Amino acid sequence: MLKLFLPSEYVKNVYEISPYSLKERGIKGIITDLDNTLIEWDRPNATPELERWLESMKENGIKVTVVSNNNEQRVKDFADPLLIPFIHSARKPMNRAFKQALATMELQAPDVVVIGDQLLTDVLGGNRLGLYTILVVPVAQTDGFVTRFNRKVERQIMRNLRQKGLIQWEE
């Protein structure tokens, strides 16, 4: 059970993920969380650096779909200017939104990576479907109410994973 919370990879931010490393792995698509993964939870739009990162994925033939538990307006305001498909009110870690994203990109699980900042939503949801999962450090040090609760639970899970020798990185 604990292994469902274990990400396949851990990086400091999305900028450490290059299209070349993904292509070497056979990855053709990204399901990514929005808040505190791509941008701060209270920032409405992509930064220029993020726009360049997303464009590099597109130029290399890697499809991106945003899957967020946030409301439609929040996710739409971010994704529409970038012409990125999105799924809002995803209810991660439930399977529905992940499966919908795979269908939208017309890709199979082995071809897709999930990127997110939370073990309880992004990593658990991706792992349950057998997707490669990448955990990133949250881009903001503040969170909404529900996420603050999740972070407390996640710290305990991380301690357990570390004690069992399943992870070696520093938080």
Domain definitions of the chain by residue range: 2-163
pLDDT along the chain (171 residues), means of 10: 90 97 97 96 92 98 97 97 98 97 98 96 96 93 68 83 76 51
Residue 109: predicted pLDDT? 97
What pLDDT is stored for residue 170 in this prediction? 58
* Amino acid at residue number 60: N
Query: What number does CATH give the domain 2-163?
Result: 3.40.50.1000
Q: How many CB atoms lie within 10 A of CB 82?
A: 17
Which helix (H) or strand (E) segment holds residue 61: the answer is none
